[in-house]
A and B are shown apart, each in its own frame.
Chain A
């Protein structure tokens, strides 16, 4: 199996894990609990695959994310985790950086976000000698609310390139139905594949596209606490 996996066996088995240097869009409708799927990938990456995981958060504060793991009794290895918090300063809250948390000014401050990501990359790669890194951006939709598509494309162009060069994994969350098709098509050029989520008749489904010769089937999933459970196949 590859160094990078989703942690969901039914998805990982058919694709044989994710190739290093891959950039993946995680796209799904609001309230499909994408963030739990992302947190699972984060936990699996850091705790099981022993990767460094850098998460850029524009929706929840870094403290809130770390609390989620605590509440759900998932022992996240903090020495491998870095969170770029773009929320706390925007809300005017006390913003203190520590080993795990770096604070960016706002989701508009792509320059600042880029600097903080680079600093975590350096810290993990150079100082801690961790060679496998995952970069998660949750979410591009918030960034797109403040910046136009060209600006976000330029930003992603740089970081998807760095992910490839470093043999890392990039996962970028996008809300479906919030952006026009052209914007999504523009962004898709930068990605190697997608983890796609859809909701039908109060049921949630997930599949992976572009990382294996054929898309995986749609799997129905349920979330209990922090667990993502596959309950059926479409």
Chain B
């Protein structure tokens, strides 16, 4: 039985990967995904397992050094760690490794070495540092066929196969095969993007041995330290009396407000756990004299809820102004059309028109005091943050 050692991944996968199974880390380009196999290998070695690391885009020595960068000493396990060197021959350099692919751009050469490894070594974890590089060198179709046969052989010899795959714009057919068909488990690793990638998350897309899937977690990569889960900060802002505190309290599993006679004068703070995501929520005051606090609170936010009173269009100018203050880094945001239960409340489309908001900005009708629309809004914002809504 083999664990990845990555927080939450083992939990999501039901604790362990059964032998003979295979798993792919499906990584969005630009996102730091290499660490996933590194951490998997280190954890496996630490637990007494045998590992084989297939390197295609750098030297085995560079990978050995990478373990050190993360603060992981592999020396005690060096007899249990083998490398398949498919890089040095590519650049015409000599290799000191036991297993060498002499023509890394020839899938048959690759297959021969991998087959030897699978047959010769005790059951262990075979890790591909970059399946996409193999695919780039050997061709998409050829590599897919080879991976299928390696996986079958691995099942026969009780090895666990783990692949890192960077989802460059390959053909849709190839990406779908990798994402949906070819592997027992798929862990998606993506970036939170709005002009630039400024956060990373992983989620279980598929697992044929674990019950619960579709969970995602934000993470950071620390050197040393490896993968650490990341709890984001979400800001709730909007004009005075729009219902921000009600929204924070309605959404949160626990919340507290710093207020005076019911008006927030410093902040609302809440914590929400919903559908595998947990987040800290910060609500700002609405009055102009507290604007400096808004600037302070908005730092390092990953998304924004802009709460407006649907019955009070005169406040929309102020709402826009607040958005400008808080949205200084181009963050994803969702507009909460609150107080939909009151007479004269504008519909989301009327608000979009009056607010002059682009079509891609979601406006969610809500009655915060009754918890109506708040979880829907949370899901929409999380989707925006993780890029799911762009898929």
Contacts and interface: CB of A to CB of B under 8 A. Distances in A.
A108 B90 CA distance: 9
Interface residues of B, number: 32
Interface string B29-40: 111111000000
Contacts of B97: none
B197 interface: yes
Contacts, number: 94
B213 interface: no
Interface in B132-148: 132-133, 136-137
Contact of B166 (A106, A111, A118): A111
Interface in B1-55: 27, 29-34
Interface string A76-93: 000000000000011010
Interface string A28-45: 000000000000000000
A158 B91 contact: no
Given A105-B62, A111-B166, A129-B329, A118 B191 contact: yes
B296 interface: no
B30 A114 contact: yes
Contacts of A158: 29-30, 168-169
B136 A147 contact: yes
B246 interface: no
Contact of B198 (A122, A147, A151, A165): A122
Main secondary structure, interface of A, reads helix
Interface in A134-176: 146-148, 150-151, 154-155, 157-158, 162, 165-166
Contacts of A178: none
Q: Which of A111, A115, A147 has the most CB of B within 10 A?
A: A111
Interface in B184-208: 191, 195-198
Contacts of A218: none
A121 interface: yes
A69 interface: no
A122 B58 contact: no
B235 to A, nearest CB: 15
Interface in B49-73: 56-59, 61-62
Interface string A47-59: 0000000000000
Given A121-B197, A146-B90, A165-B195, A105 B170 contact: no
A126 B132 contact: no
B257 interface: no
Contacts of A112: 34, 57-58
Contact of A111 (B29, B59, B329): B29
Given A89-B62, A112-B57, A154-B168, A125 B195 contact: yes
B232 to A, nearest CB: 13
B130 interface: yes
Given A89-B62, A108-B87, A126-B329, A118 B31 contact: yes
A208 interface: no
Contact of A118 (B61, B196, B329): B196
A62 interface: no
B391 to A, nearest CB: 16
A115 B169 contact: no
Nearest to A123: B196
A146 B105 CA distance: 10
Contacts of B198: 122, 125-126
Contacts of A154: 168-170
Which 5 pairs across A and B sit closest by C-beta, in order of nearness? A105-B58, A118-B30, A109-B57, A151-B136, A111-B166
Given A110-B133, A110-B136, A115-B32, 13 more contacts: A105-B59, A109-B58, A111-B27, A111-B133, A112-B34, A125-B198, A126-B196, A126-B198, A126-B329, A129-B328, A148-B136, A154-B168, A166-B195
15 contacts: A89-B59, A106-B87, A108-B56, A109-B58, A110-B57, A111-B57, A112-B34, A115-B34, A118-B30, A146-B90, A146-B91, A158-B29, A158-B30, A158-B168, A166-B195
Interface of B: 27, 29-34, 56-59, 61-62, 87, 90-91, 130, 132-133, 136-137, 166, 168-170, 191, 195-198, 328-329
Interface of A: 89-90, 92, 105-106, 108-112, 114-115, 117-119, 121-122, 125-126, 129, 146-148, 150-151, 154-155, 157-158, 162, 165-166
